[in-house]
Structure 1
Amino acid sequence: MIVRALLILALLIPALAAAQENGAALLVADSVVVENRSRLVATGNVEALYDGTRLEATSVTYDQDSGDLSIEGPIRITDPEGNVLVATRAELDQEFENGLLRGARLVLDEQLQLASVEAQRVDGRYTAMSKVAVTSCQVCGPDEVPLWQIRARRVVHDEEERQIYFDGAQFRVLNLPVLYFPRLRVPDPTLERVQGFLTPSIRSSTLLGFGVKVPYFVPLGPSRDLTFTPYLSPVTRTLETRYRQAFRYGEIEVNTAFSQDTLQSETARAYLFAEGSFRLPRRFELSFDIETTSDEAYLSDYDYSDSDRLDSAITLSRAAPLSYFESEFIHYQTLRDEERNATQPTLVLHSEYERRFPGIWGGELRLGGVAQGHYRYSDLDIDSDDEDNVVDGRDVARATAEASWHRRWTLAGGLRAGVTAQFWADRFEIRQDRASARSASQLTPAAAAELRWPLTRAGADGGRSLIEPVFQTAWVGGERPRIPNDESTRVEFDEGNLLSLSRFPAADRRERGRVSAAGLRFAHTAPEGWSTGFTLGRVWREDSDLAFTRSSGLQDEQSDYLLAGYLATDQGYAFSARGLLDQENGSFTKAEARMTWTNMRLDLEASYLLVGQDSAEDRDRATSEWSFDGEYDFNRDWSGEAYGRYNLVDNRFARAGLGVTWENECVSANFTVERRFASSTNLEPSTDFGLTVALKGFSTGGSAKEYRRTCQSF
């Protein structure tokens, strides 16, 4: 019968109890015999537990005089970390720390298997194995050959450092020798951070040729690390670096690269991207984002970024229930071929503050201010012949103070009414513009009244619907000062500003006179889980405003129709679209649409963008393009991805790529091909091929648990 630990320990020799001073002992077996008061023999389904380590065997013999354990297999030893050691026979000491195992097989973290003729346990820390075969591939029979394996003369596993050391290692693919390593060290799968090489990748590019990237990871303590990635090809010698550090109240990450190549052989090329954020006392947050590069084409040539303008910023902000503060300093760097950094607003300082006071005169009072300034490096006080219609060296600073009061009522029949009173005071200082005054001020009062009538319906089946017509009439006083338009050159008309008192994004332009707006909103949620909705809106003004561009949809006395809608289903499908419809010609001046479809096997996203030709926005011809990005799992092992951006005006792709991934329990392989066509930042078209192969089971190759196969018996 089964003998429990308490019965065993009551009869067991005192030496066994002394061996367990640092932990509880448990022994279970079908039969237990004590011979000559110094020899314990347990047979039949033996299980012994000591200090978190479990031993399973056919029989165990313990000699009190020598303190040795003789174990007959099959033997299975599981340590507290989940590592498993299997053997046919073992001679161990009473704490399982030293001894010899025959026909040993060590399984680390249920992933990496190390099979050997014999293994020796040393000090409870090392497992030294001879004539070893190592793999994370599932092997279901004695004649099955793993996809990959490492054969070694000797292997030592250090449980404390969680490292595996190989002597005379031979890497094999389908049992064919491929590489030989006299000495090799790799981290075991339980170790997440250790100095050493990461998974290499191969890249072939029409610009940079055939090259190899070999990352090397260096931990600098528990909260910092540094990764070096040499990139070598016939065209370039590049060193990429990444530095990361976590603090108690924040984190930073710095990515850099330094290159010497034949594309620009006379100069070195480099880039620096750094970002971080810190939580400060009293709800303040400090963040920074630095982006810079040595030349316009470097990021595109090496596929580091698709950005055509870089912005470096440092921001201090605070969000509280009744107030908001933000101050940021930004530096812009353009990478567009048709733009020059000297004539762009390169340095920008922006600060804003808003405070709300509920319960004032039955409504809510809001006070705020904005300080804004931008600087151009150019010293010219006239417009050169660069065709951008902007004075090359114009610098502008402005300060705005504003106050507004809002109140809402609910009338009979559920009608909602509201009034808004607002006042702005603006001051502008302008330098290096011969055609403009050096300073200007404006006072702008405004008032608005609105009506909403939300009509709701709840169906017997649980569905809910909303129809809400809305109307606003507003008046904005004052006169527009004769100052240049530097900030309000691009205006977006959408659902968010349909009822705004001014739809210009900055104070250098404000809407004037009487303006009315009307809209209709509909939303429906079905009990089956799908939902839909749409918004229709339009703006009427007393006089047309030529400060609005043609493509903004707001230039005429009657604006374009604003149309927006969405549809989402419980099957993972979602569609949204918005556009500005010109009543005169029945066409859209602006439009965008986005569709996503996500399920267990598919993740697809597609979008469409249309912006009409508008010389006032420096757009000599219309922009019309669609893009897509999708991933699909063909089966358990194979998956694919595709992405692209197609220019409908030029009838050609701007960028396209394909990728295929094959993955099982012991290998992950990814192959990609990408074609980038010429653009304002990518001066030469290029085609890139990439290949990455990672061996699972080591800490650098990813987990092998999720793809573990089940061996079938016949």
Structure 2
Amino acid sequence: MARFSTRHLALTLTCLVGLAATAPIPAAAQFFDQPLQAEPGAKMLLETDTLTYNVETGEVNAIGNVFIEYNGYQLFASRVRYDQASNRLSAAGGVRLEEPNGNIVVAKEVELSDDLRDGFLTGLRADTIYRTRLAANRAERNGGSVTIFEDAAYTACYSCRNRPDQPPTWVIKARRVVYDENEKSLRFEHPEFDLFGNTVAVLPSFSVPDPSVRRKSGVLTPTAIYSNLLGFGVRVPYFQTLGPSRDVTLGLTPLSRQGLFTDLEYRQRTANGNFKVRGTGIYQLDPDAFDDSSGSRRFRGSVTTSGNFYLNPDWQWGWESTITTDRRYLSDYKQSTGDDLTAPTTLYLTGLGDRNIFDARLWAFRILQDDYVSEQVLNPPAPFSGVGQRLQGKQAYVHPAIDYEGVYDGSVLSGELSYKFNITSLSRQETDAFGAMEDGTRIARFRGVEGTFTRGSAEVSWRKRVFAPVGQVLTPFAGFRGDVFALDNRDPNVTQLEDDVLGRAMPWVGLTYRWPWLIASSWGTQTIEPIAEIIARPNETHIGDLPNEDAQSVVFDDTDLFGVTKFSGYDRVEGGVRANLGVRYVLQTYSGGMLAATIGQSYHLAGRNSYDVADIMNSTGDSGLSSDESDLVAGLYLDTNGGLAVTAKGRFDQQTLDVQRAEVGAAARTGPVTSSAIYTFLAKQPELGIIDDREEIQLAASVRALDRIRVFGQLRYDLKDRDVIREGVGVAYDDDSLSVSVAYSEDRGGLPEDPVDRTIFFRIGLRTIGDGTVSTGLDN
């Protein structure tokens, strides 16, 4: 072993070991970059069997097990030679360069000029931290900024390191790959695509940006689509940078049945935020394909815009908006990113502090469903029968909804003081009514009322935790909420209010009692915790006189057994004296398993029971809380930490223990099988328009049949009607560089008159290259 430090040799070798790949593809090209400067005080370690220096020729040779380390870079070779006369540096015999960030370059032979601007490498292979590989028989640069790789191949197969005797899953081969340092681009000349060792496609020559370049103008990866209504098409997007903070993408999709679909998206980044605008449109050649919908027109299109800007680190504002020519356009042309039911428009201002939060929004929703007429029980009853479902007029405009809440920074009476404020104002053009059955009579229920509704609410609450003897925990609490309502109700069929402005006040006091018992064992711990809570309030006022917009959902289960109210929003507030009783059990094992269970019941003790008095929506109907003794609620959560997780919750009739609502979910993973199951049951609720019990099960499973092949499927089945709602099956291949899947599904979840939606879905993804999807409906 020899230790050697000569300034010229150290600098030259440092250049070699310091100039390796940082980008996924052109790693080896960095051998030819500008030479590095030796850092002041930096030391180089050179180890070799033999080190010689020829005084006459100025040639330095390190021969046998050469190892050079500098600044974290490591070079291995059988021989390294530096010739001062020709200013050439060469390394041979299994040259291997390892960078500090993990990139590895292997070459049979390396020869470079003194300034590293010219030279060549043979038998090259570069593996990068991005799990990509570039190999070439020869790489050469003769001055300038262009490096040429001959007989090159590129793949994103990371596992190739562990199985060098097997071909990569896929590889792009090219007679030449030209890397332009100034343009930051790679050009593949005479390329072909190999899959599992066989050539499956000969490609035209193409150029791609250097993967180290985040933004570069050019054509992006095309995507194929197919639909019975649209025909076959290929989207070809072109990306154009407009400077360091702006760019635009133009997509052209010729469709064999409907014509040229065009989309244009502009994006800009500013000093304090960003925004984008996207427009799409098509002049349909065959509008009759959409005869049964609002899409039967020549020109269809949309404009979508969004933005987000910071006023300071705590405050930001922004917007989101979508405008369409017709309701079905986004779903017909697969442009919707949401639930295909609504397209929101919102303008917002938010602030986030250490102990408080502010949020203000304006909302409007574009309905993405066509109006329809149905004979189902959910149709509006008289005097609204015959009008059908005019959906857009029933959708409210919110102007605005403002929330502010927080916790006071400091103690008050040795406890915690919190506060909430809410202002909601909305307008609706048409009353949203539906029919329901009550005592055999069909009556009207109202989700929303024509006119303008404004409410302002302010709430303050206090609580304190007190530890009593033998581990008992007492939590006294108190609060007050006040509401002011301003109403412009233009529908006399709903309510007859004499005043346009109403007020409501609700104070409360309460006490929560807990007594947890801890049982420790050699395998884990168990906690048994009885809980009792009592809350005293006056009666709720103006029930049925006021609209109910944000408290229409009352789902009584173990998660809201304890608390001041079980309403989901501000429009209703619980009144009367109520007690909540329950027991919570928690088991935790030292191996990571956990079991938690809760069971309890709520009792109305005095005053008027808010859940026994219907509002215009009758949101409390069949809630399980209308009697003095509520239904029984229970919940169970199990996680074995070994591949099995179970969640179960239910509500049971307080007299017969009949199931009123239940949901059981399980997810399991064992060996090659991953599966899940969800069972749901909802007893009939005639007061809410649900005249029959609902019961269904959803199943999903994935089986890894082979090392990289899995078969998957799903099923949603109506147990009451004995009918399949949705089903699907597919097969997929996955490895570290390729993902391919084919699936078939049938969906019967639409309206009874809608046809079955049958779809075939195909997807292929090449890591670092791109992916494409094709889906088609089998029925028009």
TM-score scaled by length of structure 2:
0.75
Other-structure match for 1:673:
744
* Cα distance in 1 between the residues matched to 2:393 and 2:746: 32
Q: CA deviation at 1:57?
A: 4.6
Q: Which residue among 459, 476, 486 is the counterpart of 2:548?
A: 486
Which amino acid letter does the alignment assign opposite residue 111 of structure 1?
T
Other-structure match for 2:382:
none
The SS at the match of 1:342 is helix
**Structure 1's 675 and 273: CA in aligned 2 closer, same or farther, altered over 3 A?**
farther
The SS at the match of 2:622 is helix
Structure 1: 5+ residue runs without aligned partners?
703-714
**Structure 1's 41 and 313: CA in aligned 2 closer, same or farther, altered over 3 A?**
same
**Structure 1's 104 and 260: CA in aligned 2 closer, same or farther, altered over 3 A?**
farther
**Structure 1's 386 and 584: CA in aligned 2 closer, same or farther, altered over 3 A?**
closer
Q: Is 1:306 matched up with 2:329? A: no
Other-structure match for 1:426:
483
Other-structure match for 2:126:
107
* Cα distance in 2 between the residues matched to 1:355 and 1:70: 69
Other-structure match for 1:589:
660
Offset from partner CA, 1:354-395 (integer Å, 9 cap, x none): 4555644454555543322110134x8999999764676232
RMSD over equivalenced CA pairs, Å = 4.5
Other-structure match for 1:343:
394
Other-structure match for 2:3:
4
Q: Which residue among 167, 180, 185 is the counterpart of 1:158?
A: 180
Offset from partner CA, 1:168-198 (integer Å, 9 cap, x none): 33445545463241x3213455555544455
The SS at the match of 1:105 is strand
Other-structure match for 2:422:
370
Q: CA deviation at 1:128?
A: 1.4
Q: How many residue pairs end up in the alignment? A: 694
* Cα distance in 2 between the residues matched to 1:171 and 1:657: 32
* Cα distance in 2 between the residues matched to 1:16 and 1:569: 56
The SS at the match of 2:537 is strand
Offset from partner CA, 1:96-151 (integer Å, 9 cap, x none): 331245x54343526333323x4322348532134545556659999977665545
The answer as to whether partners of 1:108 and 1:188 remain within 8 angstroms in 2 is no
**Structure 1's 528 and 44: CA in aligned 2 closer, same or farther, altered over 3 A?**
closer
Which amino acid letter does the alignment assign opposite residue 396 of structure 2?
P
The answer as to whether partners of 1:203 and 1:691 remain within 8 angstroms in 2 is no
Other-structure match for 1:441:
502
Other-structure match for 2:26:
none
**Structure 1's 589 and 17: CA in aligned 2 closer, same or farther, altered over 3 A?**
closer
Q: CA deviation at 1:663?
A: 3.5
Q: Which residue among 86, 92, 97 is the counterpart of 1:66?
A: 86
Q: Is 1:334 matched up with 2:367? A: yes
The SS at the match of 2:545 is coil
**Structure 1's 563 and 33: CA in aligned 2 closer, same or farther, altered over 3 A?**
closer
* Cα distance in 2 between the residues matched to 1:326 and 1:681: 41
**Structure 1's 570 and 248: CA in aligned 2 closer, same or farther, altered over 3 A?**
farther
* Cα distance in 1 between the residues matched to 2:692 and 2:303: 34
Q: Is 1:97 matched up with 2:158? A: no
* Cα distance in 2 between the residues matched to 1:609 and 1:274: 39
- Structure 2 counterparts to residues 406-421 of structure 1, below 5 A: 406-421=463-478
Q: CA deviation at 1:594?
A: 3.0
* Cα distance in 1 between the residues matched to 2:98 and 2:324: 53
**Structure 1's 230 and 405: CA in aligned 2 closer, same or farther, altered over 3 A?**
same
Q: CA deviation at 1:693?
A: 3.3
Other-structure match for 2:22:
none
Other-structure match for 2:764:
693
Other-structure match for 1:465:
527
Q: CA deviation at 1:167?
A: 2.8
Q: Is 1:533 matched up with 2:625? A: no
**Structure 1's 657 and 55: CA in aligned 2 closer, same or farther, altered over 3 A?**
same
Other-structure match for 1:546:
613
Other-structure match for 2:49:
30
Other-structure match for 1:283:
314
**Structure 1's 29 and 131: CA in aligned 2 closer, same or farther, altered over 3 A?**
same
* Cα distance in 1 between the residues matched to 2:210 and 2:670: 35
* Cα distance in 2 between the residues matched to 1:673 and 1:80: 47
* Cα distance in 1 between the residues matched to 2:526 and 2:594: 10
Offset from partner CA, 1:277-300 (integer Å, 9 cap, x none): 555437334454545555444444
Other-structure match for 1:708:
none
Other-structure match for 1:395:
452
The answer as to whether partners of 2:649 and 2:663 remain within 8 angstroms in 1 is yes
**Structure 1's 639 and 9: CA in aligned 2 closer, same or farther, altered over 3 A?**
same
The answer as to whether partners of 1:448 and 1:474 remain within 8 angstroms in 2 is yes
Other-structure match for 1:517:
580
Aligned-pair identity in percent equals 25
Which amino acid letter does the alignment assign opposite residue 527 of structure 2?
S
Other-structure match for 1:450:
511
Which amino acid letter does the alignment assign opposite residue 494 of structure 1?
D
The SS at the match of 1:485 is coil
* Cα distance in 1 between the residues matched to 2:212 and 2:673: 32
Offset from partner CA, 1:520-565 (integer Å, 9 cap, x none): 2222223332222222232333555231533322233332222222
* Cα distance in 1 between the residues matched to 2:12 and 2:148: 29
**Structure 1's 617 and 26: CA in aligned 2 closer, same or farther, altered over 3 A?**
same
Other-structure match for 2:141:
121
Q: CA deviation at 1:517?
A: 2.9
TM-score scaled by length of structure 1:
0.81
Give the stretch that moved more between structures: 561-570 or 137-146: 137-146
The answer as to whether partners of 1:644 and 1:657 remain within 8 angstroms in 2 is yes
Other-structure match for 1:498:
561
**Structure 1's 615 and 596: CA in aligned 2 closer, same or farther, altered over 3 A?**
same
Other-structure match for 2:376:
none
* Cα distance in 2 between the residues matched to 1:386 and 1:241: 50
The SS at the match of 2:393 is helix
Which amino acid letter does the alignment assign opposite residue 399 of structure 1?
G
Greater RCO between the two (CA within 8 Å, min separation 6)? 1
The answer as to whether partners of 1:534 and 1:564 remain within 8 angstroms in 2 is yes
- Structure 2 counterparts to residues 566-605 of structure 1, below 5 A: 566-597=637-668, 604-605=675-676
* Cα distance in 2 between the residues matched to 1:18 and 1:281: 45
The SS at the match of 1:486 is coil
Q: CA deviation at 1:576?
A: 1.9
Offset from partner CA, 1:248-267 (integer Å, 9 cap, x none): 76666777654555433514
The answer as to whether partners of 1:297 and 1:682 remain within 8 angstroms in 2 is no
* Cα distance in 1 between the residues matched to 2:189 and 2:239: 23
**Structure 1's 178 and 501: CA in aligned 2 closer, same or farther, altered over 3 A?**
closer
The SS at the match of 2:642 is coil
* Cα distance in 2 between the residues matched to 1:213 and 1:406: 60
Which amino acid letter does the alignment assign opposite residue 613 of structure 2?
L
- Structure 2 counterparts to residues 77-92 of structure 1, below 5 A: 88=108, 91-92=111-112
**Structure 1's 593 and 445: CA in aligned 2 closer, same or farther, altered over 3 A?**
same
Give the stretch that moved more between structures: 519-528 or 266-275: 266-275
* Cα distance in 2 between the residues matched to 1:382 and 1:529: 51
Q: CA deviation at 1:350?
A: 1.7
